[in-house]
Structure 1
């Protein structure tokens, strides 16, 4: 058994270098990340082992959520109802939840959102007019997915402001992307009120579709399941997209040759989005898993009853899969092999929506502001949470 590596706060500035070292040392490592709720566990950084373990039934989501949730105080009290969603469950419960949610979250529904997303993007960029400087995250990357999610819900314009405030308070201002007990309980109260409204006045939004699935027979979604699914869309959906947009703009601006290639040929945009997802994945680690039996990975036996975390950042820069993995290339042919959205039954259901928002956002930003560049003296500072890979701020010059 290897020694447990105690990481300090400097880890967030050099995560890629740490994961590269761990891959070179065998790809499986015991570590303790820094943070307010640190948990010791095994970290998998190689691509092959990551894909294997993401589909291994011996790694339980139920057990991980129950144990980690107790650790941070989110398995009891009113807010605990928000964690009954499919990302936190194993088959057969997960199978049932995903099947029902997929009925409401269809590819057709996602594709039909393009005009709405474009309108939000244009509206946010209109607010930049006449200015020399903007802060991308607070003034674009965060409000965009929040607005999209609540349009999906069928929330009113008045609700948008309420939900924007709640969405912005997910990490309690700590920059770590965690959900505080206060925020969870506040969001629970709001979502239940919105669900009650949609039950009385149904529309063609996602919440009404979930409620219809709720009312259609023996496999109906429970009240807590619908509420927690809505919460998952708010938290996971918005956090991933915020990071994807900010990471993407930052990566492009720090690779001017690739930015120029993309601006010269916007048909490269879908592949560029995949390469951004690979190169600077918006999620650093997949969600917690917990071994129910001994598991072997990379020549290491992980005992029963251990936390396992899969480094999406590490897997997506594995040189055995991606040639010259630390090179950013918008023309990379195999970028879409990345595991930025996971793999297997827990692959992110909202991945097409995140891709669509990123593609539209990048296209409109680069078209309207071709001279965009980083503010003078900007240094990248990353969220202090290994599960998220997102910048704390991104100040830009428009001219």
Structure 2
């Protein structure tokens, strides 16, 4: 058996680590924070097959041997990723029940109806940037607030709660978090959402959180209180983190590939092409915890035994040379095949993917039209990644606007 690879919790070289794991085989044993083991699956076709396989579950309570044996401590930094009770960690019929309750929030009609809202938020943020200094952190000033405003608007999360939720979600994605900080943050996050739910029970609105609360209160068999809170955690976290990193990397790609930027702005290629190539080139979620083998699963020459954990290597799969050839590491908006797994695959494919694409295809052209002289304020090599092997973005994106 291959010696397990200890994952770098700081995420200082997500793509380098991804390449090394991919080169070691279709499934590689890894060590997660806290010393817990898993299998990293990093090749696109292999990962695609496993994501669609009913022999692979996301329910730790049923199918992770370490969880069932009591080997996962309460202060494990990734505890919330596997302990929440929502569609993200459900399997089979439970997953279908929970997903159906959230799916109506992300129908094609509702997503398209969000277009003017997204445009208004983008324009407001750009107005604020235009009125401020020429040099700014574009992640903090644009890439981050835009999706959080969109998702919080959809679910009726009041302005007063947004900054606290955003900070708590950032810590959930920070895989350098100490066990003590992770536990404290989990308590804080649950307290914030319990307060939100109680406020909405007293004063319901025409929003999706109020709708879920009504389902819970009218028929507890369809949605328990724990599932209600954990579903809100999921939509707030997943509803913005992926899009933040997508915008961050798309902006970086165009600023460091001026010829491709010119061709996009000239209409030779679409902003949709930019979005799909960015998702392939820099998957916003590099590695997603966790899945579990319901029974023994053969992967190449290895066998993932029943009850063992699986880490989905989306960043590695996006740059798989077996799919994208010798130029897989290069950002190339002209690439014919931009296939990726950045939003997952199979029954757990991200419900919010169309909304993320809509946000990006509005936010990116609006930014570059408003600031045609936009450029990085530092060399690309000076951009620092976020402290995570899960989230794939930059801590800051310093630019000169004009």
Give the TM-score normalised by structure 2: 0.88
Residue 153 and residue 82 in structure 1: after superposition, are their counterparts in 2 closer, same or farther (change >3 A)? farther
Deviates more, 1:125-134 or 1:275-284: 125-134
Q: Is 1:152 the counterpart of 2:161 in the alignment?
A: no
Q: Cα deviations across residues 80-101 of structure 1 (Å, max 9, x unaligned)? A: 9981110011111111111122
Matching residue of 1:290:
292
For the 8 Å contact 1:380–1:391, the answer to whether it is kept is yes
Deviates more, 1:128-137 or 1:22-31: 22-31
Matching residue of 1:242:
244
For the 8 Å contact 2:269–2:334, the answer to whether it is kept is no
Matching residue of 1:220:
222
Q: Is 1:230 the counterpart of 2:229 in the alignment?
A: no
What are the residue-to-residue correspondences of 1:2-41 with 2, within 5 Å? 2-8=2-8, 12-33=11-32, 35=33, 37-41=34-38
What are the residue-to-residue correspondences of 1:174-213 with 2, within 5 Å? 175-176=174-175, 180-213=182-215
For the 8 Å contact 2:269–2:333, the answer to whether it is kept is no
* Structure 1 residue 161 displacement after superposition: 3.4
Residue 226 and residue 355 in structure 1: after superposition, are their counterparts in 2 closer, same or farther (change >3 A)? same
Residue 196 and residue 116 in structure 1: after superposition, are their counterparts in 2 closer, same or farther (change >3 A)? same
Question: Residues of 2 paired with 1:235 and 1:269: CA distance?
Answer: 25
What are the residue-to-residue correspondences of 1:226-375 with 2, within 5 Å? 226-265=228-267, 268-323=270-325, 324-335=327-338, 337-375=339-377
Q: Secondary structure at the match of 1:235?
A: helix
Matching residue of 1:110:
111
Matching residue of 1:124:
125
Residue 202 and residue 264 in structure 1: after superposition, are their counterparts in 2 closer, same or farther (change >3 A)? same
Matching residue of 1:163:
162
Q: Cα deviations across residues 59-85 of structure 1 (Å, max 9, x unaligned)? A: 22112797579736269xxx8998111
Matching residue of 1:381:
384
For the 8 Å contact 2:284–2:393, the answer to whether it is kept is yes
Question: Residues of 1 paired with 2:188 and 2:290: CA distance?
Answer: 24
* Structure 1 residue 181 displacement after superposition: 2.7
Deviates more, 1:163-172 or 1:50-59: 163-172
* Structure 1 residue 226 displacement after superposition: 1.8
Question: Residues of 2 paired with 1:81 and 1:298: CA distance?
Answer: 27
Question: Residues of 2 paired with 1:364 and 1:126: CA distance?
Answer: 11
For the 8 Å contact 1:322–1:334, the answer to whether it is kept is yes
* Structure 1 residue 168 displacement after superposition: 2.2
Deviates more, 1:260-269 or 1:294-303: 260-269
Question: Residues of 1 paired with 2:220 and 2:171: CA distance?
Answer: 39
Residue 386 and residue 142 in structure 1: after superposition, are their counterparts in 2 closer, same or farther (change >3 A)? same
Q: Secondary structure at the match of 1:191?
A: helix
Question: Residues of 2 paired with 1:242 and 1:124: CA distance?
Answer: 14
Residue 84 and residue 392 in structure 1: after superposition, are their counterparts in 2 closer, same or farther (change >3 A)? same
Question: Residues of 2 paired with 1:165 and 1:200: CA distance?
Answer: 21
Q: Secondary structure at the match of 1:221?
A: coil
* Structure 1 residue 349 displacement after superposition: 0.9
Matching residue of 1:42:
39
Q: Cα deviations across residues 204-250 of structure 1 (Å, max 9, x unaligned)? A: 21112223433565752222212211111111222111111111111
The unaligned stretches of length 5 or more in structure 2 are none
For the 8 Å contact 2:9–2:176, the answer to whether it is kept is no
* Structure 1 residue 377 displacement after superposition: 4.0
Question: Residues of 2 paired with 1:30 and 1:251: CA distance?
Answer: 32
Q: Secondary structure at the match of 1:57?
A: coil
Question: Residues of 1 paired with 2:173 and 2:392: CA distance?
Answer: 15
Q: Count matched residues.
A: 389
Question: Residues of 2 paired with 1:57 and 1:46: CA distance?
Answer: 19
Question: Residues of 1 paired with 2:298 and 2:312: CA distance?
Answer: 14
For the 8 Å contact 1:81–1:227, the answer to whether it is kept is no
